[in-house]
Structure 1
Amino acid sequence: MAFPLPRGITPSEIAFLAEMETITIVPRQRLEGMELLSGSIEPLGPPRRASLPLWLALLLKRQRRAHIIPPSWLHPEPLSLILEVESQHQDYKNAFSPPPPLPGQASVTDHETESIARPQYTPDGERYYAAPPFLPHNISGAGTGEKEVPALPFHWIEVGNMLLDAASDDLVDPDQLRRLLKDLREVRMAKMRSGVDALDAAATGGGGVALTGVGAMELGEERGFLTGVVDNLRKIGASKEQARREQLADQRANGGYGATQEDEEEDYMEF
């Protein structure tokens, strides 16, 4: 018997994965180091900052053992700028603001190109590059260059909501942040739902749907809608094509088909 679960990853599972995002804290007391599956945590001591997984930072915050430093994008000014770009800029009318570059990619700022590749190493000494949610996009100081455009990380919805719920006193104007996150989420959701023409072209094999910059929670919530629209459009296209071929077959059988030999060959090639 199959379990009645939706296709793909659920929102609760996406939020669980987002808890592995790295966040910056300032400990309020000395804490011993520990060994985690994601790596070793060095001993903590105030006022020295440290980068910890989000779940551990939230645990220390609830125990009043640390303060959380919000990431550079979780401030009213960057979110207001991203919202303005998403809703008013012509270049992003049907697109999303670009995400932070991945490790190994070049970050282009005006005429300068800066490599942000940060290799990591396993206990055996093998080098590797981290992937979401193990990217340093939410630590203090990430992407704070003067020439860099603010960018939303892959788990921006989950991280923002978790910090607003558990560490609102560490954020700048949390009420305004809630409004900005809500407005930004609605604008981006409307873009995804309004791309029916692009979905129609993708269903008939005429291209794809650009989802560059879309977050994990947005993909999880809209997966059912997007796949349902594409499936229905594909069925409609198949039924229209079948009806057209049946009509042509009836015209040939009744002797009323006046097409030339070239039209017949072209129809055969399309089939």
Structure 2
Amino acid sequence: MAFPLPRGITPPEIAFLAEMELVTIVPRQRLEGLDLLGGPTEALLPPRRTSLPLWLALLLKRQRRANILPPDWLHPEPLSLILEIETQRSEYKDAFSPPPPLPGQGVPRGRTAARRNLDGQLYFPAPPFLPQNVARTNAIPSGEPPSLPYHWLEVGNMLLDSASDDLVEPDQLRRLLKDLREVRMAKMRKGVDVLDAAAIGGGGVALTGVGAMEIGEGRGFVAGVVEGLRKIGASKELARREQLAEERENTYDGTQDEDEMEF
């Protein structure tokens, strides 16, 4: 019997991975450090800030033992600016707002990108193990455009559902996240025009800056369109070959009749 789930990672699995994102909390009670699979955590000493995985921060929030500080991008002003970039700037008419810098592209915003493993070797972590959702104490440079992290949609919805009292204007944040999601999904659907070339190996779809949940939700749509275009292209190619074969047969028969008449 075939497995009932679709191919690829599902939205609930993407949300599960997003729970390992690091967020900043302000503890209300003392708590000793914990040994987790992602590494040991610092001891919680109020009111000192610390970074914890999102799942642990939400657990402490439900127990009223900590408050969660929203990430730098989860404020009305940065989200409004990102929405303006997505909708009004001509260079992003068919593209997405710039993502955060990748590991190894310098030190992102004053943070150390490289880490060391148990053997002392350097490595560059990848999402969800990047500090893209922690709250910074220093101000954002005025010339630096805001960017959405890889798990922006999942982290934003989880914080709005479980820690809305720690966010600034949660109702406006919900509206901005909804508008951003609709605008970016419309851009992904608009990219169907280039999928015809991608179906025959002559091009592709640019997904730079697209989040994990957006890719998971649009995977079925994009894959279905590519598969349909591939079948259409295969039928067109088969019809073209049949037409060429028929033309060759007709040309051969006509030449043969002329030769027999001359003989």
Q: Same fold (TM over 0.5)?
A: yes
Runs of 5+ unmatched residues, structure 2: 255-263
1:224 match: secondary structure: helix
Opposite residue 7 of structure 2, the aligned amino acid is R
Cα–Cα, structure 1 residues 171 and 252, in superposed 2: closer, same or farther, change >3 Å? Answer: same
Greater share of helix: 2
Q: 1:241 to 1:36 in 2, by over 3 A?
A: same
The alignment yields a C-alpha RMSD, in angstroms, of 2.0
Contact 2:107 2:113 in 1 (8 A): no
1:179-233 per-residue CA deviation (whole Å, 9 max, x = no partner) reads: 0000000000000011111111111222111100000000001101101111111
Q: Is the alpha carbon distance of 1:252 and 1:130 closer, same or farther for their aligned partners in structure 2, counting shifts above 3 Å?
A: same
Among the aligned pairs, what percent are the same residue?
73
Q: d(CA) in 2 for partners of 1:212 and 1:256?
A: 53
CA distance in 2, matches of 1:39, 1:215: 25
CA distance in 1, matches of 2:13, 2:200: 32
SS of the aligned residue for 1:97 comes to coil
Output the amino acid matched with 2:154.
E
Deviation of 1:7 (Å): 0.6
Match for residue 96 of structure 1?
A: 96
Question: Residues 36-89 of structure 1: CA distance to partner in whole angstroms, max 9, x if unpaired?
Answer: 111111211111000000000000001000110000000001001101110111
- Which region of structure 1 is more displaced relative to structure 2, 213-222 or 125-134? 125-134
Between stretches 47-56 and 194-203, larger displacement belongs to 194-203
Measure the CA separation in 1 of the matches of 2:26 and 2:41. 14
Partner of 1:128: 123
In the alignment, the residues of structure 2 paired with residue 241 and residue 77 of structure 1 have an alpha-carbon distance, to the nearest angstrom, of 52
Query: Which residue in 2 is equivalent to 1:268?
Result: none
**Structure 1 residues 101-153: Cα deviation after superposition (integer angstroms, max 9, x where no partner):** 12211479xxxxx8855221223323211100000000011883332110000
Separation of aligned partners in 2, 1:141 and 1:116: 10
Aligned to 2:169: 173
Cα gap change, 1:257/1:27 in structure 2, threshold over 3 Å: closer, same or farther?
Answer: farther
Number of aligned pairs? Answer: 253
Pairing 1:140-155 to 2, within 5 Å after superposition: 140-141=135-136, 144-155=140-151
1:217 to 213, 217, 225: 213
SS of 2:251's partner is coil
Query: Take 2:111 and 2:179, find their aligned partners in 1: how far apart are those partners?
Result: 31
Distance 1:117 1:49, change over 3 A: closer
What SS class does the counterpart of residue 237 from structure 1 fall into? Answer: helix
Q: CA deviation at 1:167?
A: 0.3
Q: SS of the residue aligned with 2:203?
A: coil
Structure 2 counterpart of 1:41, one-letter code: T
Deviates more, 1:99-108 or 1:18-27: 99-108
Aligned partners of 1:122 and 1:61: how far apart in 2? 30
Give ranges in structure 1 of 5+ residues lacking alignment. 109-113, 259-271
Letter in structure 2 aligned against 1:105: Q
How do residues 150-161 of structure 1 correspond to structure 2 at under 5 angstroms?
150-161=146-157
1 CA distance for matches of 2:117 and 2:158? Answer: 29
